[in-house]
């Protein structure tokens, strides 16, 4: 396919980018600086997650096991709410030594149940990775203790909460170098698009070849006008 006369080619776009190198460089430097400032000002957040499992103790017969499993699924949402109760939060604050209120700690917690199962994930987000791990594990252990204290039937605990996955120290969410590279790439890309867009919008001549093409197009138009009557 032949490119229409007067339409910029890849070489023309390249010339536009070369002519706008100063703007592209300035935008890249500013974007890197902005990414560095943002990474320095905004504190990194770390999230650690512990997991508990809810069971209903009872006879080991198949029917009893099925009933116990059904009972655990029904009660799991109640334990999700219990994990962020004031009792659990206050005990966690004392255990970890947090200088926060129960409401503040609750805002840093995410407790969710796995659909169709009796698993509960407890995620804690903190500025310090070790503290995030300690909070997630403390909430899980205090939930287990509180369940043993209040969920008692005539023949013992109605439900049991078991810690199956203890939280580990989370890895840093990102590195400074990756943020700087991403910021610089975005700045350079946006600046390049603006430079090319401005060049196309101005419809300016950026190379000698475009002058030749325009003159050739004009000669063809004059020739068609001159022979137009005979061609009809």
Bridge partners (DSSP) listed for residue 230: none
What does the mean pLDDT of the chain come to?
A: 76
Check pLDDT > 50 for residue 62. no
Q: What is the pLDDT of residue 218?
A: 62
Evaluate if pTM is beyond 0.85: no
What is the third-level CATH fold of 46-165? Alpha-Beta Plaits (3.30.70)
Predicted confidence (pLDDT) per residue in 137-170, tens digit: 999 999 999 888 886 555 555 678 889 999 999 9
Determine contact, residues 109/84, Cβ cutoff 8 Å.
yes
The pLDDT value given to residue 47: 94
What digits encode the pLDDT tens for the residues 5-15?
555 667 777 77
**Which of 41-50, 78-87, 162-171, 196-205 has the least mean pLDDT?**
196-205
Nearest CA-CA partner of 126 in 48, 50, 46, 49 = 46
> Tens digit of pLDDT for each residue in 29-47?
888 887 777 766 666 789 9
Q: How many other CB atoms are there within 10 angstroms of residue 29's CB atom?
A: 13
In angstroms, the CA 81 to CA 150 distance is: 14
Distance from the Cα of residue 40 to its chain's centroid:
19
């Amino acid at each position: 396919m032949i490119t229409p006369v007067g339409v910029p080619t890849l070489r023309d776009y390249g010339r536009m980018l070369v002519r706008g190198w100063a703007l592209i460089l300035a935008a890249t430097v500013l974007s890197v600086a902005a990414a560095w400032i943002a990474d320095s000002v905004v504190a990194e957040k770390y999230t650690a997650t512990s997991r508990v499992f809810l069971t209903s103790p009872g006879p080991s017969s198949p029917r009893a096991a099925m009933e116990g499993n059904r009972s655990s699924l029904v009660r799991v949402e109640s334990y999700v709410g219990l994990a962020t109760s004031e009792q659990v939060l206050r005990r966690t604050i004392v255990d970890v030594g947090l200088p926060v209120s129960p409401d503040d700690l609750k805002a840093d917690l995410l407790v969710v149940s796995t659909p169709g199962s009796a698993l509960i994930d407890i995620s804690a987000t903190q500025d310090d990775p070790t503290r995030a791990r300690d909070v997630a594990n403390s909430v899980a252990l205090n939930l287990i203790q509180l369940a043993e204290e209040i969920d008692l039937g005539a023949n013992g605990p109605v439900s049991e909460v078991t810690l199956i996955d203890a939280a580990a120290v989370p890895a840093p969410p990102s590195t400074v170098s990756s943020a700087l590279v991403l910021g610089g790439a975005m700045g350079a890309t946006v600046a390049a698009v603006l430079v090319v867009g401005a060049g196309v919008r101005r419809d300016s001549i950026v190379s000698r070849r475009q002058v030749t093409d325009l003159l050739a197009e004009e000669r063809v138009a004059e020739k068609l006008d001159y022979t137009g009557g005979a061609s009809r």
